[in-house]
Structure formats: structure tokens, C-alpha cells
């Protein structure tokens, strides 16, 4: 056994057991992602207009989508997801609040769609997998971002 292989074996041996036992998740398994999302609310699998997976969910009464990106033809082999929520508001928000959101917040970007309704998005790179715990934390951040956006931009 060469020194490089021996060092790798020793490094694996020294890792705490939970680090070795972490379950990984990526964007190629929408059903697994749905299972995690259901810990925060409802979620069902659909397909978007080009046949890629799309999850329709609800957290704390707010409807959102999880869109899949970087997919192969046929909607498989996806590499990333995006959380997206949109509201029909009839202009019941201040553009200055939306701009302040984009300036001051780390997670989630906001913009106005083609009919001037606010949209909130948060991109998540899942290429080459993340731990289940990492994705659960990201979903928790999405829940926080949604609530904060509704409170500070939509004044709900």
C-alpha cells in the first residue's frame, strides 16, 4: 500500500462515524427532495412545460415551486434546483421595499414579473450531492426567507 493510499485510509478512519454515515441527496431524485419538503409542509411532484421535474409545495400557507435545472433530455440527471414563489398583489407593495430586500438580504432574490407582481427565488446547487442535513437546512432557510419577504416586502 503506497503512502497516498495509506494516508487516505487513515483519514477515513479518523472521521467521526456520523460524517461517514451521512446520507447524500442531489437533484436527480425529486422524490427524495419531496420527502424532505414534506417535513415543512405539503409537496407534490409535477412536470414543467419542458418535461423537467417540478415540485409544487406549500409552507406556512404560502404556495411555492421547486424547479429543476441542468437536466438531461427527459428531465433526468438534474444538477440544481430553484425555490420560487410569486404573489398577485395588484401593486400592494412598495418598490423601495423590494429593492431594499435585494440590497440587504443574503438569501433569495426578488423581482417583478411581466405583470409587475413580486417573485422571490432562491437557487440551490446540488451537483455532486449535499448531505440530507444540508438540504434540510436549506429548506429551513427557504421557510425563513418566505416569512421575512411576506412580512417586510408584502407587509402580510
Q: What percent of the chain has pLDDT over 70?
A: 87
For residue 75, pLDDT over 90 is answered with no
**Boundaries of domain holding 129:** 22-152
Domain of residue 43, CATH code? 3.30.1460
Domain contains 1: no
Q: How crowded is the C-beta side of 62, counted as CA atoms within 13 Å?
A: 26
Number of domains in the chain: 1
Q: What is the pLDDT of residue 92?
A: 82
In sequence order, the 6+-apart residues with CB closer than 8 A to the CB of 101 are 108, 110, 149, 152, 153
Mean per-residue pLDDT of the chain: 90
pLDDT of residue 21: 61
124 domain-assigned: yes
Q: For 33-52, what is each residue's pLDDT tens digit?
A: 999 999 999 999 999 999 99
pLDDT at site 5: 55
Least confident of 1-5, 88-92, 123-127: 1-5
Position 104 pLDDT exceeds 70:
yes
The whole-number pLDDT of residue 12 equals: 46
Pairing assessment for the beta strands 24-25 and 130-131 based on DSSP bridges: antiparallel
Q: How far apart are CA 11 and CA 5, in angstroms?
A: 10
Mean pLDDT of 92-118: 95
Residue 13 lies in a domain: no
- Please report how many Cα atoms fall inside a 13 Å half-sphere around the Cα of residue 39, on the Cβ side: 13
Amino acid at each position: 500500500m503506497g503512502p497516498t493510499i495509506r494516508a487516505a485510509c487513515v483519514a477515513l478512519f479518523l472521521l467521526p462515524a456520523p460524517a461517514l454515515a451521512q446520507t447524500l441527496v442531489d437533484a436527480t431524485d425529486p422524490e427524495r427532495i419531496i420527502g424532505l419538503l414534506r417535513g415543512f409542509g405539503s409537496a407534490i411532484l409535477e412536470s414543467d412545460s419542458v418535461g423537467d421535474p417540478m415540485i409544487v409545495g406549500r409552507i406556512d400557507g404560502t404556495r411555492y415551486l421547486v424547479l429543476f435545472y441542468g437536466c438531461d433530455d427527459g428531465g433526468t440527471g438534474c444538477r440544481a434546483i430553484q425555490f420560487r414563489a410569486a404573489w398577485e398583489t395588484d401593486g400592494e407593495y412598495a418598490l423601495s421595499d423590494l429593492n431594499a430586500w435585494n440590497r440587504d438580504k443574503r438569501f433569495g432574490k426578488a423581482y417583478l414579473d411581466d405583470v409587475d407582481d413580486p417573485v422571490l427565488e432562491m437557487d440551490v446547487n446540488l451537483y455532486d450531492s449535499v448531505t440530507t442535513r444540508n438540504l434540510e437546512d436549506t429548506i429551513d432557510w427557504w421557510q425563513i426567507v418566505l416569512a421575512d419577504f411576506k412580512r417586510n416586502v408584502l407587509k402580510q
